[in-house]
Structure formats: structure tokens, C-alpha cells
């Protein structure tokens, strides 16, 4: 199987004034197409930083990052945005919907940035929201939706451009267990359809959904475990 993501000796150093924080150090990690992996570790261990690097939202201080075989660590911002919008779908803990757009408009937005026609955007956004059981909520604004509904809209948005990889950073952190399970079950079903899923979580129970778990500590991989059925 091909590697969709490959991280080679990546370090990320944050400088604030005179202090340096090495959020990620000499990280090596690879994810195959169609895998469901989890990243676990204590707070501050560098999970979100790794996630942002994988998602090309941030550039490494050192090292190389390959997305689908292509080194993205030296691309300019515009090219990164374009790749990110097409190949990666983000799901955040805080849902991060745009407050003044309806559910449907939120889902359609990533497609706008890929230059897709408004008719096609509308159609696909409706289909995705239907698939997530939000047929009745398409024209609601985020503040009119429950947390569970908002996160499902966010999932629909992450799927808008049919990306290869879904990055979910604590997607259930702000949800109750019932809604958390809906989200995870949905991610699992996406994985069954061939999507690569990377899940960041604190929760051992959620990590069970993944085939493989990367344990981070102090910006480094401490161990890798597999969940074999």
C-alpha cells in the first residue's frame, strides 16, 4: 500500500521572545492510504502541532513532509492552501463553523476556494448534509444548531472536496458520549469507504476505533501500538 503521509525528521520550534519551545522534535511517522490511526499523548505533547504539520497548515522548522509522495515542506502559501483544500479535511474540537453562514453555505465554502461552480457546490453540499442526517437543518445558522449537529456540519464540510485524508483533532472533545459515538462511527464508516483518518484524542476508548496508535510525549513518538481484532 502507498504511503499517503510521510514525516521525516520533522522538528517544529516556536520562538516567543527569548524562549524556545520545541513542540515537535525529530518526528518520524508514516500513514498508509486507507489507514485509521490515532495520535495520543498528554496535553502539550505536540499532538496538535503534528496535526497542523500533517495538514500543511504549518511548516516545519526542520525536516520533510510528503503528502501523497510530494514534498510540501517548501511550497509557498498559495500552493499549500490549494493542496490543503483539495486533499485534507479538517475537523476541530470547537467545530469552527463560520457563524454568519448557514450549514449549507459552510459546507459549500471549501468548494468555492477550489473554483467549483455554485450549482455544483449547492448540489454537493445538500447531498453531504443529507448523508449526515441534517436534511432539515441545511439553512440553519451554527448558533441555531446543537453541538452534535454543528460537528456533523463540520464533517460534511471536511468531505466537501472529497479529500484523501481526514484530520480530526479531538473531534468529540466538546460532545456528550452519544454524539461522540455518532461522530466516531461516521469516521469509521468513511474509513471503510477508503478514506485515511487521523484522529487526535485523549480518550483511550476512542483510540480503539483506530488500527494503529502513535503515543506522543514531549514532541517525540514514545511507542506505536496496533489494535488487532
Partner 1 sequence: MILDYLILSFKNLKRRGVRSWLTLLGIFIGITLVVSLVSLGNSLQLAVMSQFGVSSTQVITVQAGGVGYTPPGSGVVKYLTSEDAREIEKLDLVEVAIPRNIETVKLQFNRKTRLVAAASIPEGEKRKYIYQLLDLTAEKGRLLEKEDSKKIILGYNFFDKDKNGFDKKIVPGKSVLINGRKFKVVGIIEKKGSFILDNVICVGDDDLKELAGYGDEVDLIVVKVKDKDLMNKAKDEIENLLRKRRDVKKGEEDFTVQTPQSLLETVNKVLGGVNVFVIILASISIVVGAIGIANTMTTSILERKREIGIMKAIGARNKDIFLQFFIEAGILGLIGGVFGAIAGTILGYFGAMELNKLMNIFARPEISFSLLFLAIMSSFFIGSIAGVIPAMRAAKQNPVECLRG
Ligand X SMILES: Nc1ncnc2c1ncn2[C@@H]1O[C@H](COP(=O)(O)OP(=O)(O)OP(=O)(O)O)[C@@H](O)[C@H]1O
- Positions that interact with partner 1 (CB under 8 A): 52, 55, 57-58, 77-78, 81-82, 84-86, 90, 92, 96-101, 105, 109-110, 112-115, 118, 157, 160-161
Residue 78 found at the interface with ligand X (CB under 6 A)? no
* Measured distance between the N- and C-terminal CA atoms of the chain, rounded to whole angstroms: 20
Whether 28 contacts 35, CB under 8 Å? no
Residue 20 found at the interface with ligand X (CB under 6 A)? no
Q: Which is nearer to partner 1, 82 or 140 (CB)?
A: 82
* Secondary structure (3-state) at 27: strand
Site for Mg ion in 31-60 (CB under 5 A): 48
Query: Rounded to 10 degrees, what is the CA torsion of 124, 128, 133, 134?
Result: -60
* Backbone angles phi and psi of 115, in degrees to 5: 75, 30
Residue 58 corresponds to which cell in the numbers above?
504549518
For residue 46, the partner it binds in partner 1, ligand X, Mg ion, none, with Cβ less than 5 to 8 A by kind, is ligand X
Residues contributing to the site for ligand X (CB under 6 A): 14, 16, 21, 23, 41, 43-49
Residues contributing to the site for Mg ion (CB under 5 A): 48
Amino acid at each position: 500500500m502507498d504511503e499517503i503521509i510521510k514525516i521525516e525528521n520533522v522538528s517544529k520550534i516556536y520562538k516567543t521572545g527569548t524562549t524556545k519551545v520545541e513542540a515537535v522534535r525529530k518526528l518520524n511517522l508514516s500513514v498508509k492510504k486507507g489507514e485509521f490511526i490515532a495520535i495520543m499523548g498528554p496535553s502539550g505533547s505536540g499532538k496538535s502541532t503534528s496535526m497542523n504539520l500533517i495538514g500543511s497548515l504549518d511548516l516545519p522548522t526542520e525536516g520533510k513532509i510528503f503528502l501523497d509522495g510530494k514534498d510540501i515542506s517548501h511550497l509557498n502559501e498559495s500552493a499549500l492552501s490549494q493542496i490543503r483544500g483539495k486533499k485534507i479535511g479538517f475537523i476541530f474540537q470547537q467545530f469552527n463553523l463560520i457563524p454568519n453562514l448557514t450549514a449549507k453555505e459552510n459546507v459549500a465554502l471549501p468548494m468555492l476556494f477550489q473554483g467549483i461552480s455554485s450549482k455544483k457546490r449547492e448540489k454537493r453540499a445538500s447531498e453531504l448534509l443529507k448523508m449526515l442526517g441534517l436534511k432539515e437543518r441545511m439553512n440553519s445558522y451554527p448558533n441555531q444548531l446543537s453541538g452534535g449537529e454543528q460537528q456533523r456540519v463540520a464533517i460534511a464540510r471536511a468531505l466537501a472536496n472529497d479529500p484523501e485524508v481526514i484530520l480530526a483533532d479531538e473531534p468529540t472533545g466538546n460532545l456528550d458520549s452519544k454524539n461522540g459515538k455518532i461522530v466516531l462511527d461516521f469516521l469509521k464508516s468513511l474509513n471503510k469507504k477508503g478514506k485515511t483518518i487521523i484522529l487526535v484524542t485523549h480518550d483511550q476508548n476512542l483510540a480503539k476505533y483506530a488500527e494503529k496508535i502513535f503515543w506522543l510525549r514531549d514532541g517525540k513518538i514514545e511507542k506505536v501500538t496496533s489494535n488487532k481484532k
